[in-house]
């Protein structure tokens, strides 16, 4: 059974363009359908839900030293448990790229059918992922991208730039007409591309409505770091109209600093979508009025895609047969008005 799965995996990896071309030709010629009809040659949602050959998926991610990463890990397991034809093998979480490379090599040696990988360092894990792909094992890259397009069959990403755009757009709407408003930003780790992308999206959205970031500090995605950075920001700026804090975990510390300073003349927007942030938004008893989702379901999506790829299935709700090479998830704004729609997707 395993060799049969591998053969089908290689066909999916090398034949997607051919299948897509056949579908396109069928749509153009009208073969088997009335002229103008769209011909869908992929598997349907119902067919995808049917149990198939058992798929063994290796999953490796960083150490769950952050609420969001903990939710990533539990989400991957929950997704696997929801399928009766998936066996998930989970490597111990680590922030050491060498240890994670060893985990990937073990998956390859064990002959798993697919690998879902949230790399501790995308560049450092690239060669190991390429080796897995060359061995005929599709790799689904989650959250932190590899440095080569040959390292993954599919990539599932949150939208870091989009987070910044969503935060900036929301603040623009709330400060409509206040051209002299003081907008502050509490970033995550400045050396990370994800932080840079979030900040760029934020600046671009503010510029579109005539505002700019008046004061900015960076933290480190921890409670203590958030409190220290916020204390510094508040001390240096006696008046603020709005704050965007990139991360809800560090936001616990940010809110503690705000309470200690006795400040409430501004409103705050969070980031990522933690349970505590959404409950505070629900209660509407603090400066926190919104948060921007950065999905903690990315690894769960990776497991679902890995199953489809290994079983030779396609994404059922799109017409073009196959699995997209790149999926970027939405970054919606959660407010008091819509928090009930999102709170079940929040993370502890």
**Does 23 or 335 have the greater pLDDT score?**
335
The yes-or-no verdict on residue 26 having pLDDT over 80 is no
The yes-or-no verdict on residue 13 having pLDDT over 70 is no
29 band by pLDDT with thresholds 50, 70 and 90: very low
Q: How far is CA 321 from its chain centroid?
A: 24
Nearest to 215 by CA among 182, 248, 188, 178: 182
pLDDT (mean) for 114-128: 96
196 band by pLDDT with thresholds 50, 70 and 90: very high
In sequence order, what are the residues at sequence separation of 6 or more whose Cβ sits closer than 8 angstroms to the Cβ of residue 54?
Answer: 1, 85, 86, 87
Strand partners, 326: 155
| 288-293, strands of its sheet edge to edge | 213-218, 183-187, 242-245, 267-272, 288-293, 333-335
The yes-or-no verdict on residue 25 having pLDDT over 80 is no
Q: What is the pLDDT of residue 245?
A: 98
Q: What is the pLDDT of residue 37?
A: 60
Average pLDDT, the chain: 89
The yes-or-no verdict on residue 259 having pLDDT over 80 is yes
8 band by pLDDT with thresholds 50, 70 and 90: very low
The yes-or-no verdict on residue 33 having pLDDT over 50 is no
pLDDT (mean) for 198-223: 97
Q: What is the pLDDT of residue 204?
A: 98
Q: What is the pLDDT of residue 128?
A: 98
Cβ-contact 142, 295 below 8 angstroms: no
Q: What is the pLDDT of residue 145?
A: 94
100 band by pLDDT with thresholds 50, 70 and 90: very high
Q: What is the pLDDT of residue 250?
A: 95
**Does 311 or 10 have the greater pLDDT score?**
311
Lowest mean pLDDT among 1-10, 88-97, 99-108: 1-10
Question: Residue 111 — left, alpha, or beta (φ > 0 → left; ψ -120 to 50 → alpha)?
Answer: left
What is the length of the chain?
A: 348
Lowest mean pLDDT among 40-44, 116-120, 162-166, 171-175: 40-44
40 band by pLDDT with thresholds 50, 70 and 90: low
The yes-or-no verdict on residue 14 having pLDDT over 80 is no
Cβ-contact 227, 253 below 8 angstroms: yes
Q: What is the pLDDT of residue 20?
A: 36
């Amino acid at each position: 059974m395993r060799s049969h799965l591998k053969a089908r995996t290689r066909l999916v990896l090398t034949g997607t363009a051919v299948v897509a071309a056949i579908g396109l030709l069928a749509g153009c010629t009208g073969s088997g359908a009335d002229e103008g009809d769209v011909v869908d040659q992929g598997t349907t949602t119902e067919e995808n839900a049917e149990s198939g050959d058992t798929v063994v998926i290796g999953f490796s991610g960083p150490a769950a030293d952050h609420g969001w990463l903990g939710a990533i890990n539990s989400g991957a397991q929950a997704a696997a448990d929801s399928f009766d034809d998936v066996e998930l093998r989970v490597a111990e979480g680590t922030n050491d790229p060498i240890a994670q490379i060893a985990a990937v090599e073990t998956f390859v040696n064990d002959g798993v059918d697919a690998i879902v990988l949230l790399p501790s360092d995308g560049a450092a894990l690239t060669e190991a992922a390429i080796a897995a792909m060359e061995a005929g094992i599709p790799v689904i890259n989650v959250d932190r991208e590899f440095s080569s397009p040959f390292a993954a069959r599919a990539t599932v990403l949150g939208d870091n730039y989009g987070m910044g755009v969503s935060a900036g757009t929301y603040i623009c709407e709330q400060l409509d007409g206040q051209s002299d408003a003081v907008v502050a930003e509490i970033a995550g780790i400045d050396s990370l591309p994800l932080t840079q992308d979030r900040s760029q999206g934020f600046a671009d959205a503010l510029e579109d409505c005539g505002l700019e970031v008046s004061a900015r500090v960076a933290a480190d995605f921890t409670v203590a770091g958030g409190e220290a950075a916020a204390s510094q920001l508040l001390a240096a700026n006696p008046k603020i109209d709005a704050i965007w804090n990139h991360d809800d975990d560090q936001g616990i510390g940010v809110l503690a600093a705000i309470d200690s300073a006795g400040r409430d003349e501004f409103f705050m927007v969070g980031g990522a979508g933690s349970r505590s942030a959404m409950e505070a938004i629900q209660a509407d008893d603090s400066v926190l009025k919104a948060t921007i989702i950065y999905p903690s379901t990315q690894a769960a999506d990776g497991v679902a895609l890995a199953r489809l790829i290994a079983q030779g299935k396609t994404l059922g709700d799109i017409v073009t047969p196959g699995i997209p090479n790149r999926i970027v998830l939405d970054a919606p704004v959660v407010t008091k008005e819509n928090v009930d729609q999102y709170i079940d997707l929040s993370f502890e």
